[in-house]
A and B are shown apart, each in its own frame.
Chain A
Amino acid sequence: MNATDHSGGEGLEVRGLSVSLEGHEILRDLQLSVRRGEVLALLGPSGCGKTTLLRAVAGLLTADAGSVHWAGEDLHPVPTHRRRFGMVFQDHALLPHRNVGANVTFGLRMQGVPADERRRRVTEVMAMVGLNGYERRSVATLSGGEAQRVALARALAPEPRLLLADEPFTALDRPLHDRLVGDVRRILCDLGQTAIHVTHDHAEAFAIADTVALMRDGRIRRTATPKQLHADPRDAWTATFLGLGTVWQPPEGRVPHTGGGDIPTPWGIVALAASAGTEPPREGFCLLIRPEAVRPSGSSGIRAHLSDLRVVGDRSVATFGIPGAPPLEAYVPADVSAGRDYRITLDPAGVSLLRADTSD
């Protein structure tokens, strides 16, 4: 599964899309495809162009170059209101002068669906998002989570060909966020809904999507499953953005390693198995040291200072520092304490080779 999927007439195809706003190039020759029934997470840092791409797909802005196709049809002459793409906005954009029910039936009304059919459909989608009986409520009385559920119901009610969600959960607090992500994942799966879900939160992207498109500086860098991305981030930027561990760049002038074998690091020699990584990069390389790799050991290894200790979930995460090297994170047993020195060793199984960051 990658960006060069040539199923053509199946779902969404974005080819060579370029968009400039106020003189700044936001999207550059962007390629993306989404198969029918697929939930794709568009993941990238703030300002990388995710929202712009979504708006171009929805027809809310016109591209300078490139095309957007659905099922083989060029959407350029098709205005937003005839694309039949649903959209969920970050600020939910519920119409304040209409109640919940009228918001949800808005799309059906635009399609000219008869009233009794509309009522049936509203009951259906409201049940789907878990808000039965909210139809007569004013949108001003909804909580943030409820408003997003209504926005989702409104977008889904006209049975859109493609659902576009623009960071819908960003403004919500953590527990509510996690619950909604689970619910939305279930709803989209049950419907077999084709969807693009924009987020800057990798945990959210991994939880909600079959496929993740990683975006940076106006381009899709990689399209992969969450599992593939986690197992093999390939380059330093991806590993850092996904928060997979510490990325260490060897000092310049050191000969790039050409396969497995012993690599000298500030934390000692790491014996990397030849088969552990992919094809070793020829130009600059980095090491990704995952928390699983760092082992506090009793007597052997390098002396490191445990500067910080915190609890994440049910695990204790320690930060180890040694002079002249970036701090390492590690999962540690409960009996260690901050402010003391420990000896640590690196387990080669948790260390992998990455392409150094190339900024283009």
Chain B
Amino acid sequence: MATRHAGERTGGNAGAGTGRRRGRVRGPRARRARIAPVALAALPAAFIGVFFLYPLVGVLVRSFDAGVLLATWRNPVTTDVLWFTTWQALASTGLCLVAALPTAAVLARLRFRGRRLVHALLVVPFVLPTVVVAAAFLSLMDRFGLADRFHHTVWAILAAHVFFNYAIIARSVAAYWSQLDPAPEQAAAVLGASPLRVFGAVTLPRLAPAVGAVTAIVFLFNFTSFGVILILGGPRRATLDTEIWRFAVQRLEFDTAAALALLQLLCVLLLVVGATLWQRRRQVAERLRTDTARRVRGAADRVLLAGTLGVASAVVGLPLAMLVERSLRSGGTYTLENYRRLGESSERLQALFVSPLAAIRHSLEFAATATVIATIGGLLVAVAVSGRRKRGAAALEGAFLMPLGTSAVILGFGMLLVLDSPPLDLRLSWWLVPIAHALIGMPFVIRSVTPALAAVSPRLREAAATLGARPARVKREVDLPLALRGLAVGAGFAFAVSLGEFGATAFVVRPERPTVPIAIFRLLGRPGEAAFGQAMAMSVILLVMAAAAVLLIDRLRPAGAADF
């Protein structure tokens, strides 16, 4: 959305913009200017090729090679897993919509103090590590004595999925809704439609593209959910992703895992293609305004607002509050004991091999490295994309966004599968984790920097050129400083995502060098009060780090920039 706006703004006068010129291009200067951007993308392209496409191909080849493919697919257990994966995703998505759409309506239509803060806080669940969410729901059930009844049931899974995706739907639908021109609604009212008719006949159809798009994304998230299911679902509640992990990591049956991975990839592909076709058919040209919300007026508005904020804080706030509360409890009293014990590496915690504090250090090192890789790669791609014409640019950008649409489990499995023989024997390498995180973080950098670069008026570059700046100098003096904010936002997301990444890490991590999410997962698998308390304390630390990153990002993000 932001990109399209920027494009309109920089429309240029008299069709004289250099980007679209067709004048005969002569001389080495012009040719070099065209080749350079593609060369810039070579490095990130090689990175994606080796660490994303090659593993993906590895999974495909492994699954075709295996005679177990048909056997696995015909196995009634597989059918059960596929069925459960699908219906829990459908149910989760439906519940998310029911919970989030009223919130979206209020956020879109009412302007109130703290609206921006509510918007910002609603991103927190999105970047929360899945293990933290699972831990939060464990503590919630624990607090209200529901653990026996709900742990390892589908209800816990559905609740966690609603928590995760509620904010995504509310935010993205609200953002679109608040920019819709209210004129058609007003016209319908003038023509005699009651408010309810107006909503049903005008507003709802207009919202369909936004709701449809976000529904598809949320369904995809739920379909490929991993950490939540693994922790809350227990051994009897398996989805495709958890089964792939179980076969690959616990039972080392790579052939079966590959067969399941192929099935998962086909399902996701079907879903993406279907959603794209549906969206293309529904596409209408809406003229978007900046913000059409109105001030809160009267008692009805206030009740509505209070109700919405109540629901939002119950859905998002309650589990997190219970997590914090639980982390402060040990032996029946409130204490900092759980946090104090994080430094220990006692016998009781041998499952970890290292102290929780060391896990925090690993996580920070991995995240910093992954962020550097993702930022440099993303910046190179964004610069390459910005130098190209519209269609080529979209294709190029799309190629680099692929890791975002692939489940982290498949990513991790693929890396485990192919990066085990020279010259790419990285099984024991420290680099495997940051590389996997960088793959997932890079699309976020690209998505934040590309619109920032596209918004740079070509006039500014020309002005710099007439003042004597060489093309390379123009990039450094004009494009780079103007894209810096977008770059910082992207880097922040890459960092936050890396901190919480669980799916891919679960495959490629070395046992003696766990990240915080892995450490939490292991602690949750340990019996005993102390391990549980420590898991909660670590979850709170991860929560604070993720929330801090998000709030920082929101401060940096220019108004109206792209949302994820």
Contacts and interface: CB of A to CB of B under 8 A. Distances in A.
Nearest to B465: A80
B460 interface: yes
Interface in B460-485: 460, 462-471, 473, 477-478, 481-482
Given A87-B466, A93-B457, A158-B468, A19 B23 contact: yes
Interface in B3-21: 13-16, 18, 20-21
Contacts of A82: 468
A93 B30 contact: no
A160 to B, nearest CB: 8
Contact of A97 (B15, B22, B467, B481): B481
Contacts of A154: 463, 467
A93 B23 contact: no
Contacts of B14: 46-47, 51-52
Contact of B20 (A22, A81, A84): A22
Contacts of A155: 466-467
B96 to A, nearest CB: 40
Nearest to B474: A81
A60 B464 CA distance: 11
A80 B466 contact: yes
Interface in A262-279: none
A20 B22 contact: yes
Contacts of A81: 465-471, 473
B466 A58 contact: yes
A87 B468 contact: no
A55 B459 CA distance: 11
B457 A55 contact: no
Contacts of B24: 62-64
Contacts of B457: 91, 93
Contact of B23 (A51, A64, A164): A64
B469 A63 contact: no
Interface in B466-508: 466-471, 473, 477-478, 481-482
A360 B15 CA distance: 23
Contacts of A237: none
A261 to B, nearest CB: 46
Nearest to B459: A93
B463 A84 contact: no
B481 A22 contact: no
A51 B464 contact: no
Interface in A12-52: 19-24, 46-47, 51-52
Interface stretch (A105-113, A116-124, A313-321): A105-113
B29 interface: yes
Given A21-B22, A52-B14, A93 B462 contact: yes
Given A62-B24, A87-B463, A95-B478, A21 B15 contact: yes
A111 B21 contact: no
Nearest to A83: B466
Contacts of A87: 462-463, 466
A55 B16 contact: yes
A193 interface: no
Interface size bucket, B side?
Answer: 20 to 34
B27 interface: yes
B468 A61 contact: no
Contacts of B468: 81-82, 84, 107, 110-111, 158
Contacts of A96: 460, 482
Specify the main secondary structure of chain A where it touches its partner.
loop
A107 B27 contact: no
* Of B460, B468, B470, B471, most A-chain CB atoms within 10 Å: B468
B391 interface: no
A342 interface: no
A110 B469 contact: yes
Contacts of A46: 14
B26 interface: yes
Nearest to A24: B15
A62 B463 contact: no
Nearest to A50: B14
Interface in A68-98: 76-77, 79-87, 89-91, 93-97
A182 B398 CA distance: 53
Contact of B467 (A20, A21, A106): A106
A130 B468 CA distance: 25
B191 interface: no
A55 B463 CA distance: 11
Contact of A106 (B21, B462, B464, B481): B464
A91 B470 CA distance: 22
Nearest to B468: A110
A232 B30 CA distance: 45
A87 B13 CA distance: 16
Contacts of A55: 16
B25 interface: yes
Nearest to A86: B466
A85 B16 contact: no
Interface string B15-56: 110101111111101100000000000000000000000000
A62 B465 CA distance: 15
A161 to B, nearest CB: 12
Nearest to B481: A97
Contacts of A59: 465
Given A22-B21, A84-B468, A110-B473, A93 B16 contact: no
Contacts of B460: 93, 95-96
* Of A21, A77, A84, A91, most B-chain CB atoms within 10 Å: A21
Contacts of A62: 23-27, 30
Contacts of B467: 81, 86, 106-107, 110, 154-155, 158
Contact of B463 (A20, A52, A95): A95
Given A84-B468, A96-B482, A158-B467, A61 B23 contact: yes
B482 A97 contact: yes
* Of A19, A64, A97, A164, most B-chain CB atoms within 10 Å: A97
A79 B482 CA distance: 24
A61 B465 CA distance: 12
Contact of B22 (A23, A63, A80, A85): A23
B32 to A, nearest CB: 11
Contacts of B464: 95, 106
A61 B469 CA distance: 16
Contacts of B473: 81, 110
A79 B468 CA distance: 9
A61 B466 contact: no
Contacts of A158: 467-468
A121 B32 CA distance: 35
A209 to B, nearest CB: 21
Contact of A89 (B23, B25, B463, B482): B463
Contacts of B470: 81
A166 B465 CA distance: 16
Nearest to A82: B468
Nearest to A22: B22
* Of B25, B460, B471, most A-chain CB atoms within 10 Å: B460
Contacts of B471: 81
26 contacts: A21-B20, A22-B20, A24-B15, A58-B466, A61-B16, A62-B26, A63-B23, A64-B23, A76-B26, A79-B29, A81-B465, A81-B467, A81-B471, A87-B466, A89-B463, A90-B13, A93-B457, A93-B459, A95-B460, A95-B478, A97-B481, A97-B482, A106-B464, A106-B469, A110-B468, A110-B469
Interface of B: 13-16, 18, 20-27, 29-30, 457, 459-460, 462-471, 473, 477-478, 481-482
Interface of A: 19-24, 46-47, 51-52, 55, 58-64, 76-77, 79-87, 89-91, 93-97, 106-107, 110-111, 154-155, 158, 164
Given A62-B25, A81-B471, A90-B13, 20 more contacts: A20-B23, A21-B20, A21-B23, A24-B15, A52-B14, A63-B23, A64-B23, A64-B24, A79-B465, A81-B468, A87-B466, A91-B459, A93-B459, A94-B463, A95-B477, A95-B478, A110-B473, A154-B463, A155-B466, A155-B467
Nearest 3 CB-CB pairs, A to B?
Answer: A110-B468, A107-B467, A93-B463
